[in-house]
Amino acid sequence: MKTTTNEIADGIFRFSTCVPDVTPDGFTFNQFLIKAEEPLLFHTGPRAMFLLISEAVSRVVPIEKLRWITFGHVESDECGSMNQWLAAAPRSEVAHGSVGVMVSLNDLADRPPRMLQDSEIIDLGGKRVRHIDTPHVPHGWEARVLFEETTRTLLCGDLFTHTGDGPALTAVDIVGPAKKAEELFHATCLTPNTAATIRKLAALSPKTLAIMHGSSFNGDADRALHDLAGLYDRWLREASQTG
C-alpha cells in the first residue's frame, strides 16, 4: 500500500491510501491536512496505518507542529491512531463536539480533548474552521463535520462514500457512486433528520467536498448535497411504506 498526497484546495491536502480487498475495485481511506499557523488534521487513520500516513503528512508539515487532531466520529479509520498523533505532536489537542467528548474521548484520548460547541469556529491563523454537529449523519451519535471558511471546503467525512481509487479531485457525478456504495454498505442512519441535516450543509455553499472514502469533489456541491438528501428522503419514504 502507498499513500498519495494532493492539494485539493488552497492549503488543504488530501492523503489517500487505497486498500484493495475491501471491495473488488478497491476502497480509499483519506485524511485531510489544513496547512495554517495551527495545522489541523481531519481523520487520523487506523493505528496500523500511522507510519504510512504520518510519513506522508510530514512531507507537508513537520508532525510536531500539528496543533489540532480532529475527525468526524469515533471509529477506527476516523480516529484509531489518535493517541499516536498526540504522542508525536506534543502541542496537539483532540477537538470534537460535546457528545463525542463526553461519551468517548474524555476516556479514550491520552490528553484531555477540547470540547467544541455547535458552530464554534477555531481560527487556525490563515484558515478558519467551523465545527458543525450532525448527530447520526452519516452515522454515530457524536457525528460532526468541519467547514473551512476561507476555501469553502466541507470536510464531510463518510458522506458521499464511494468505492474505487479515482482521481484526488473530480467534478463528475458523485451521487451515483455514493448511491451504489450505500446499497452495498448500508452505512448511513436513515432517520427523519438525515436529509434535513444534509440540506443544512448545502446552505453553507461549499466549493469543495473533502470526502473520506473516494474522490473529493469540486463540481456543483450544492446540487450534489441536495441530490444526496433527496435520495435519503426517498429511501426513508419507501422504508416507511413497506414497514
Q: Which residues bind Fe ion (CB under 5 A)?
A: 75, 77, 158, 212
Q: What's the min distance (Å) between Cβ of 78 and Fe ion?
A: 6
Distance (Å, whole) CA 30 – CA 57 = 12
Q: Which is nearer to Fe ion, 38 or 77 (CB)?
A: 77
- What distances in angstroms separate CA 207 from CA 38, 130, 156, 163, 178, one per listed residue? 22, 15, 12, 22, 19
Min separation Cβ 156 and Fe ion, Å: 11
Q: Which of 68/160 has CB closer to Fe ion?
A: 160
Of 28 and 38, nearer to Fe ion (C-beta) is 28
Strand ranges across the sheet with 169-170: 121-123, 128-133, 144-148, 153-157, 208-211, 216-217, 169-170
Q: Phi/psi at 55 (nearest 5 deg)?
A: -65, -40
**Minimum distance, C-beta of residue 207 to Fe ion, in the bound complex (Å):** 22
**Shortest Cβ distance from residue 161 to Fe ion (Å)?**
7
Residues 58 and 31: beta-carbon distance below 8 Å:
no
Nearer to Fe ion, 109 or 212 (CB): 212
173, three cell numbers: 457525478
**78: Cα separation from own chain's centroid:** 8
Looking at beta carbons only, is 56 or 156 nearer to Fe ion? 156
Q: How far is the CB of 75 from Fe ion (least distance, A)?
A: 5
Which residue type is seen at 51? L
The residue with its CB nearest to Fe ion is 158
Q: Using CB atoms within 10 A of its CB, is residue 7 exposed (0-12), middle (13-18) or buried (19+)?
A: middle
In whole angstroms, the minimum distance from the beta carbon of 175 to Fe ion comes to: 18
Nearer to Fe ion, 158 or 182 (CB): 158
